[in-house]
Amino acid sequence: MKPTPGKSLFSTVDATTVVVIRWGETELDLTCGGAPMTDTDPKTVAAPPTTGATQLGKRYTTEDGSVELLCTKPGDGELAIDGVALGIKSATPLPASD
């Protein structure tokens, strides 16, 4: 899968929905709860997974920063690319204004 920035992706196992902020040049396998994500909104979802959880408004990224996703609808599945779980991007502190 190689979506473009701004594209919404939907989980097939829970309610998770993300928007692509950044995606590298390569094709990667994005999953949520172990199942591939899709670019069409499934009207029904399978039983929710028991591990991980996505949080509304959080940005999920790979270690190298080549992929960044924004969670617009939370769910119970864990986001992963090629089997490696994505981490929540930490906020960057603002500079002090002396």
Q: Considering just the CA atoms, what is the radius of gyration of the chain in Å?
A: 14
Mean of the pLDDT values across residues 31-60?
81
Q: Would you say how long the chain is, in residues?
A: 98
Percentage of the chain modeled with pLDDT above 70: 90
* Count of C-beta atoms within a 10 Å radius of residue 21: 15
Give the pLDDT band of residue 43 (cuts 50, 70, 90).
confident
Residue 48: its pLDDT value, please?
Answer: 54
Q: What backbone torsions phi and psi does residue 82 show, to the nearest 5 degrees? A: 50, 40
Residue 21: its pLDDT value, please?
Answer: 96
- Which whole-number Å values give the CA distances from 61 to 35, 46, 53, in the listed order? 18, 25, 15
Give the pLDDT band of residue 46 (cuts 50, 70, 90).
low
The pLDDT tens digits of the residues spanning 51-77 come to 568 999 999 999 999 999 999 999 999
Residue 35, both tokens: 């199942």
Distance of CA 51 to the CA centre of its chain: 15
Residue ranges of domains in the chain: 8-86
